[in-house]
Amino acid sequence: MPKVIRRSQSRRVAGRPAADTVDQQLKLRGIADVLVVLNQAAGEPLAAAVPGARARSTFGAMALSMSATTVPVATDPAGGLPMDLMSLFESPYEASMEAESASLTLRASGKRKRPIVSPAGGEIVPALYLDRLRMVLGSVSAGGLKGLRRHNLVKRVEAIPDLSLIRPRRLAAAQPTPEINWGLSRLNIPALWKQGLDGEGIKVGHLDTGADGTHPMLKGAFAAFAEFNYIGKQVVPDPAPHDTDIHGTHTAGTIAGRPVNGHRMGVAPEASLVSGIVIEGGKVTFRILAGLNWILHQGVRVLSMSLGIPGKADVFLEITNVLREQGVLPVIAIGNEGPGTSRYPGNYATVLSVGAVDDRDQVASFSSSDKMPPPPPPARIVPDVIAPGVGVISCVPGNRYMSMDGTSMATPHMAGLAALLFQAKPGATPDQVEKAIFASCRRSSGMPADRANRGVPDAAVALSNL
């Protein structure tokens, strides 16, 4: 019998509660990690968004509407932010006493607040400007927060809760079989292969623990790979694809694993992965958001993420809106905590959320499901769809294979299907691909609506719908 590793059934999840506010963090720690949403339109240079007047903007108003004129903006060349805005942030070293900061050295530099130099010599500025997300990440004191809330470039300031990986509920050593993985057959993926659809030319964003590029299933599968340090900076130039765990290699193999000795486990075996190491460790949400900003520079059409925060909050709603606005379909796991639970951003209406089904067409007992209250009416059920997430065999580092259970295993199936559909119709929007998938779903008798929502997609029907 293969050795089976079972994850704890506890629903406790590390990280700050979603209800934390910036002011609560300041009261507890004297410092707060913040996400700053900028008054910046899509594609607009940052300097153009700074009005000539210094009046405080109203919530949600675009800065350009306040003044038709702009003034030259003194920017920090390392961070790309106006100096007066960057000066409001504390350095990551001052904001964190974590062990990882001990490996960094400090130096003084003009008006900077004790900037940090990485071991590789690259300067780490106090704040991260995420140009495609139109946001800034950093740590602030009470005075800095007051300044941010008054700054005419700032739309609003949010607290940053900690996202966590959605860990598999079961892991077991496995060997691939000559048959196509049951999950691919259940989704009718071979019907699209027969029509010449294999994902070629489509880039899929994959933010996880990384992925082992030396595994035979993943050799040649990467269009880009990045590693983000504990505060979201890329400090390793052109890293080779590797995994800091096993989770990312497994999910990457389900998305785009190449056939090996007749074994077929990847939904879109010619798709290209844009993969980043973003979890876990350090300031996890800084790393994840930096990864999201990076993939938006890489031309991806689909994003696969198996992470989230238990509960309901809208702190990342604007981020998922930006992804769709820029042509990316976010496909996100709903969670492994069972009925009556869900994780955000997987429970947002702006993502395609995925639960798990087994090979008997039963919703997996661990698969999260939830009723999301209006607005807008009517009440909404999550996940949007369910996909194969029990006994899923894929690759793991060390030229090995494992069988895993989890909504993390179901999510890459849907990301791979979306890649095939984008290949079939390159001009399709995320909304069109999502609607085609939704309209292809069917529920069997073992799939209650409040657990499975629309049910399991059929790839051939989705293609016809598209």
Give 147-197 pLDDT, tens digit per residue: 999 998 999 998 887 777 778 888 788 888 877 889 999 999 999 999 999
In this prediction, residue 303 carries a pLDDT of 98
Q: Are residues 312 and 400 both part of a single domain?
A: yes
Q: Are residues 146 and 226 both part of a single domain?
A: no
Q: CB within 8 A of 330, min separation 6: which ones? A: 303, 305, 320, 323, 324, 345, 350, 351, 352
**pLDDT(336) > 80:** yes
Q: Are residues 230 and 337 both part of a single domain?
A: yes
Q: Are residues 167 and 155 both part of a single domain?
A: no
**pLDDT(2) > 50:** no
CA–CA distance, 47 with 238 (Å, rounded to integer) = 30
- CA quadruple 109, 115, 117, 121: dihedral sign: negative
Q: Are residues 154 and 216 both part of a single domain?
A: no
Average pLDDT for residues 344-348, to the nearest whole number?
Answer: 93
In this prediction, residue 16 carries a pLDDT of 42
- CA quadruple 166, 10, 21, 60: dihedral sign: positive
CA–CA distance, 249 with 246 (Å, rounded to integer) = 6
Q: Are residues 120 and 87 both part of a single domain?
A: yes
- Among 159, 181, 210, the domain-final residue is 159
11 is a domain residue: no
- pTM score, whole prediction: 0.83
Average pLDDT for residues 355-373, to the nearest whole number?
Answer: 95
- pLDDT interval class at 63 (50, 70, 90): very low
- Among 159, 188, 208, the domain-final residue is 159
Average pLDDT for residues 305-323, to the nearest whole number?
Answer: 89
Pairing of strands 154-159, 385-388: unpaired
Greatest distance between any 2 Cα atoms in the chain: 72
In this prediction, residue 176 carries a pLDDT of 84
Q: Are residues 127 and 171 both part of a single domain?
A: no
- Are the beta carbons of 355 and 385 closer than 8 angstroms? yes
CA–CA distance, 347 with 340 (Å, rounded to integer) = 12
* Digit-coded pLDDT (tens) for 269-311: 999 999 999 987 778 888 899 999 999 999 999 999 998 888 8
In one-letter notation, the amino acid at residue 31 is I
**pLDDT(48) > 60:** no
Label residue 411 exposed, middle or buried (CB < 10 Å: 0-12, 13-18, 19+).
buried
Q: Are residues 168 and 138 both part of a single domain?
A: no
The more confident residue out of 453 and 316 is 453
Q: Are residues 152 and 180 both part of a single domain?
A: no
The runs of H, that is alpha helices, within 91-230 are 92-95, 142-150, 182-186, 190-193
The more confident residue out of 108 and 443 is 443
Q: Are residues 154 and 183 both part of a single domain?
A: no
In this prediction, residue 381 carries a pLDDT of 95
CA–CA distance, 257 with 278 (Å, rounded to integer) = 21
- pLDDT interval class at 49 (50, 70, 90): low
CA–CA distance, 305 with 355 (Å, rounded to integer) = 13
Please identify every residue annotated as catalytic. 208, 247, 408
- Mean pLDDT for the chain overall: 81
172 is a domain residue: yes
CA–CA distance, 158 with 59 (Å, rounded to integer) = 13
In this prediction, residue 103 carries a pLDDT of 33
Q: Are residues 197 and 290 both part of a single domain?
A: yes
* Residue 110 domain boundaries: 22-159
- Among 159, 192, 220, the domain-final residue is 159
Q: Are residues 84 and 175 both part of a single domain?
A: no
Q: What percent of the chain has pLDDT over 70?
A: 79
How many structural domains does the chain have? Answer: 2
The more confident residue out of 267 and 316 is 267
Dig out the tokens for 333 from the structure: 């796991």
Q: CB within 8 A of 160, min separation 6: which ones? A: 33, 34, 35, 137, 283, 285, 286, 315
User: Token match 């007047």: residue?
Assistant: 53
Residue 217 CA, chain-centre distance (Å), reads 23
In this prediction, residue 160 carries a pLDDT of 83
Domain of residue 176, CATH code: 3.40.50.200
* CA geometry: angle 128, 133, 136, nearest 5 deg: 30
- pLDDT interval class at 396 (50, 70, 90): very high
Please report the DSSP string for 39-108 in residue order.
S--TT--TGGGSBSS-PPPPTT--GGGT-S-B----B-TTT-SBHHHHTTSBPHHHH---GGGGG-EE--
Dig out the tokens for 257 from the structure: 């694993």
450 is a domain residue: yes
